[in-house]
Chains A and B, each alone.
Chain A
Amino acid sequence: MDALLLHRIHFAFTITYHYLFPQLTMGLALLIVALKTLAVTTNRPVYHDGARFWARVFGINFLFGVVTGVPMEFQFGTNWSQFSRVTGGVIGQPLAMEGVFSFFLESAFLGLFLFGERRLSKWGHWWAGFLVFLGSWISGFFIIVTDAWMQHPVAYTLLPDGRFELNSFTGLLFNPWALLQYAHNMSGAVITGAFVMSATGAYYLLEGRYTEYGRLFLRVGVTAGIVFSAIQIFPTGDLHGKYMARQQPVTTAAMEALFKSEIGAPLVIMGQPDVVHQRIDNPIVVNRLLSFLIYGTPTAEVRGLNDFPREDWPTNIPLLYYCYHIMAGLGTWFVLLMAVAAFLLWDGRLFRARWVLWPLMLSFPLPYIANTAGWMTAEIGRQPWLVYGLLRTQHGSSQNVTAGNTLFTLLGFMGMYALLSVLFVVLMFREIDHGPGKELGPPVESGAPVPAA
């Protein structure tokens, strides 16, 4: 393996692993604020204990997010030093702002939120939770601004020595790509939070433990789940896709495996792209749908890969195609499942509908896969560029760090993260097993059996 490939795997592995945690904490933060709001306005113990339970889960995930997040910023310098040297003048800005505006906020109020409930008033503690939520969402924004600049560089001047200099602060922060990507990404994070909460609730009901909490978690999780699963597709996914098709048409062509330009291009639902023969095997397609989705009319022309020079094609078209299709396919499943669950919730039948509780419980890993696949679509789709159209990936890595050293630290991270995974799984199972608190006496729902004292 050459050094460049190892640097790429190094970053890809550590960022993919890292993002398993923030996607939950960012999404969960919103839901915890919702639970806290219910708790302080109604003062019912079930809301308080429910909020505390998710705060504990949040705390564990936040810790894993922090310890795996610190290496990310450092890797810009360690593994991608040529990239850092030329782009620091632009994206150093959002990365520094993330530290100053988000991490201080999060870390200060997380301690208060987790350890300070007795020291704060009811609303004081609500504010601590809200500020943790705010901090985590600000953090997401600055990271998206950074990535969006690499996807769609704006507000820069290119100096003769190859360095980029910022020329508009607001232009950078309000990059249209960033706003679209942020909306799509944060909605995806809430989906992860909603599915994890629903799955936990479903588990408690299926198992017949902590049933009052199970019902609460399902109410909150399914409500957020249907709202954000819908938002994920329309408008955020739709707008992001349309914008991408105009700004990175070659990426869109590769994602859809559209090898030749076509008027009235079809949408490939399934099939295996064969890049050598430039065709799709075993295709299931909907005619003219791609043209409609991108341009709003079924007769528009969509440019295929044949319209672009080969050296600008994304470097791994099948992987890009699969990531995109997995994301989109799972996104569709989320809407279907949550629509059924939300209907039954509204109808009052969800808590007894085991045939829906089972898929709700089993679906909790799927948003993680969908979010990961979505990010892989964005990042593999950006190839062969680090900064789209301006800096190729091969020119960004650290030339002074050899393949041997990179493999050493990659293996080190893999070992370290294997340990983390074991600890994480143990801790999460324990939290869920311990449940949100003591069983709160008999369930309040009338007609339910009263457990023996």
Chain B
Amino acid sequence: MMGAIWYWIVAAMLVAYVVLDGFDIGAGIVQLFISESEDDRQMVLRSIGPVWDGNEVWLIAGGGTLYFAFPLLYASAFSGFYLPLMIVLWLLILRGLGIELRMHVNLLVWREFFDGCFAFSSALLAIFFGAALANVIRGVPIGDDNFFFLPLWTNWRVGPNPGILDWYTVIGGFLALVALAVHGSLYVALKVERPLHDRAVRFARLLWPALVALTVVSLVATIAIRSSTLGNYTRYPVAFVIPLGVLASLAGILIYCRSERVKQAFQCSCAYLTLMLVGAAVGLYPALLPSSTDPARDITIAKALSGRYALSVGLIWWGLGILIAIGYFVFVYRMFSGKVRVEAGEGY
């Protein structure tokens, strides 16, 4: 029971991270495509400026909670995915610099450099996060000692000894790239005035067919390479509402984009990301990290769970802390609600 609670707590924190920081990353991916002027770029940055750092905290807090609740998973997965994680850390550094330093020096080369940092790191972050999730679903060659080490790539095939990147995880990476680009476009559209608003909506619509195609391909590929992900679904058929919800939210994105109800379209995009992740979590449960060689070596909740006392205390402070944190988020998003404008002198 305790294990299930913490499994869903960590999953919820990662979902919060993807939905919230997802639109920051998405804004980074699309900013070069939808901006036509310096003012446009500033507006994109202003739309995420006061919130991106708080959104990124969900990753840090989620990682800390993972360490706390499932130390073995934290130890095994983080060391096993050593190289991609380090690259993600470097990209997060570049992304933070790209967002925050751009406006500090009024030189065209300086601004373009950081625009480039922001776009490059955001796109690669999306690809790496998607590939990471695909790695977890595909499974990794866990040894007897519960540890493994994956190179970045081997022969690009999904076999017993895969690399971080193979054809399946590359699909996952591109899916994440497109999904977050759509997500970010819709968020930017919500926050800015025309004509940038129109270009952002148009860009989301342009990507929509690719998003649908990649979603379907990835679902089919997942079943093909790892049919056991269906286990929980056949056991509890009610879970099939999740993929149905995914399709409905995909449809919603297009329908609301067409009728210019961007807020609803953005909400559909949030629902899409949430349901995709929840669907994956349902498919994995109760494994945390499946083995690609032998199901007995899966790192499961039972194997990795922390001590009961610590987890019980944790429930109290976590519940309290997250309530307060949600309060902050509501407060901050209200303070910065509405459209952003380019005007001098906001902030320092």
Interface on A for B, CB 8 Å cutoff? 52, 55-56, 59-60, 63, 66-68, 70-71, 73-74, 76-79, 81-82, 84-90, 92-93, 95-101, 103-105, 107-112, 114-120, 157, 163, 165-167, 169, 398-402, 405, 408-409, 412-413, 416, 420, 423, 426-427, 430
Interface on B for A, CB 8 Å cutoff? 49-51, 53-54, 56-57, 59-65, 67-72, 74-80, 82-83, 85-86, 89-90, 92-93, 96-97, 100-101, 104-105, 146-149, 306-307, 309-310, 313-314, 317-318, 321-322, 324-325, 328-329, 331-332, 335-336, 346-348
Please pick, from A100, A103, A107, the residue contacting B318 in the complex, using a CB distance under 8 A.
A100
State the CA gap A427–B148 with chains docked (Å).
Answer: 42
State the CA gap A79–B79 with chains docked (Å).
Answer: 6
Are B82's CB and A409's CB within 8 A?
A: yes
Are B86's CB and A78's CB within 8 A?
A: yes
Chain A residues whose CB sits within 8 angstroms of the CB of B75 once the complex forms: 77, 81-82, 84-85, 88
Please pick, from B59, B61, B85, B347, the residue contacting A104 in the complex, using a CB distance under 8 A.
B61
Chain B residues whose CB sits within 8 angstroms of the CB of A109 once the complex forms: 328
State the CA gap A430–B348 with chains docked (Å).
Answer: 14
State the CA gap A240–B102 with chains docked (Å).
Answer: 44
Chain A residues whose CB sits within 8 angstroms of the CB of B105 once the complex forms: 426-427, 430
In the complex, the chain A residue whose C-beta lies closest to that of B99 is A63
Are B51's CB and A67's CB within 8 A?
A: no
Are B51's CB and A111's CB within 8 A?
A: yes
**Minimal beta-carbon separation of A415 from chain B (angstroms):** 9
State the CA gap A76–B60 with chains docked (Å).
Answer: 13
Chain B residues whose CB sits within 8 angstroms of the CB of A408 once the complex forms: 83
Are B321's CB and A100's CB within 8 A?
A: yes
**Minimal beta-carbon separation of B314 from chain A (angstroms):** 7
Chain A residues whose CB sits within 8 angstroms of the CB of B51 once the complex forms: 111
The 10 residue pairs across chains A and B that have the minimum distance between CB atoms: A88-B71, A77-B78, A99-B61, A92-B68, A111-B50, A165-B307, A100-B321, A108-B328, A81-B79, A115-B347
In the complex, the chain B residue whose C-beta lies closest to that of A415 is B90
State the CA gap A169–B308 with chains docked (Å).
Answer: 12
**Minimal beta-carbon separation of A142 from chain B (angstroms):** 9
Given A92-B68, A96-B64, A423-B101, A68 contacting B79 (CB threshold 8 A): no
| Residue of B71, B104, B307, B332 ringed by the most chain A CB atoms within 10 A | B71
Chain A residues whose CB sits within 8 angstroms of the CB of B60 once the complex forms: 70, 73, 99, 103
Are B49's CB and A165's CB within 8 A?
A: no
In the complex, the chain B residue whose C-beta lies closest to that of A83 is B75
Are B346's CB and A84's CB within 8 A?
A: no
State the CA gap A426–B97 with chains docked (Å).
Answer: 14
| Residue of B79, B92, B100 ringed by the most chain A CB atoms within 10 A | B79
In the complex, the chain A residue whose C-beta lies closest to that of B333 is A108
Chain A residues whose CB sits within 8 angstroms of the CB of B325 once the complex forms: 100, 104-105, 108
In the complex, the chain B residue whose C-beta lies closest to that of A62 is B53
State the CA gap A118–B341 with chains docked (Å).
Answer: 14
Chain A residues whose CB sits within 8 angstroms of the CB of B54 once the complex forms: 104, 107-108, 111
Chain B residues whose CB sits within 8 angstroms of the CB of A167 once the complex forms: 309
Are B78's CB and A63's CB within 8 A?
A: no
Please pick, from B70, B79, B347, B348, the residue contacting A398 in the complex, using a CB distance under 8 A.
B79
| Residue of B57, B60, B148, B331 ringed by the most chain A CB atoms within 10 A | B60
Chain A residues whose CB sits within 8 angstroms of the CB of B89 once the complex forms: 70-71, 74
Main secondary structure of the interface of B (DSSP, over half): helix
Are B67's CB and A416's CB within 8 A?
A: no
Chain A residues whose CB sits within 8 angstroms of the CB of B328 once the complex forms: 104-105, 108-109
Are B309's CB and A84's CB within 8 A?
A: no
In the complex, the chain B residue whose C-beta lies closest to that of A111 is B50
Chain A residues whose CB sits within 8 angstroms of the CB of B148 once the complex forms: 400
State the CA gap A239–B8 with chains docked (Å).
Answer: 44
Are B53's CB and A100's CB within 8 A?
A: no
Chain B residues whose CB sits within 8 angstroms of the CB of A110 once the complex forms: 53
Chain A residues whose CB sits within 8 angstroms of the CB of B335 once the complex forms: 112, 116, 119-120
Chain B residues whose CB sits within 8 angstroms of the CB of A409 once the complex forms: 82-83, 86
State the CA gap A427–B107 with chains docked (Å).
Answer: 13
Are A427's CB and B306's CB within 8 A?
A: no
In the complex, the chain B residue whose C-beta lies closest to that of A95 is B64
**Minimal beta-carbon separation of B199 from chain A (angstroms):** 25
Please pick, from A67, A108, A405, the residue contacting B332 in the complex, using a CB distance under 8 A.
A108
Are B348's CB and A95's CB within 8 A?
A: no
| Residue of A103, A402, A413 ringed by the most chain B CB atoms within 10 A | A103
State the CA gap A336–B204 with chains docked (Å).
Answer: 64
Are B332's CB and A63's CB within 8 A?
A: no
Given A67-B93, A81-B147, A166-B307, A104 contacting B68 (CB threshold 8 A): no
In the complex, the chain A residue whose C-beta lies closest to that of B149 is A400
Are B307's CB and A85's CB within 8 A?
A: no
Please pick, from A88, A166, A427, the residue contacting B67 in the complex, using a CB distance under 8 A.
A88
Please pick, from B72, B85, B318, the residue contacting A74 in the complex, using a CB distance under 8 A.
B85
Given A63-B96, A116-B50, A81 contacting B78 (CB threshold 8 A): yes
In the complex, the chain B residue whose C-beta lies closest to that of A76 is B67
Chain B residues whose CB sits within 8 angstroms of the CB of A77 once the complex forms: 67, 74-75, 77-79
Chain B residues whose CB sits within 8 angstroms of the CB of A103 once the complex forms: 57, 60-61
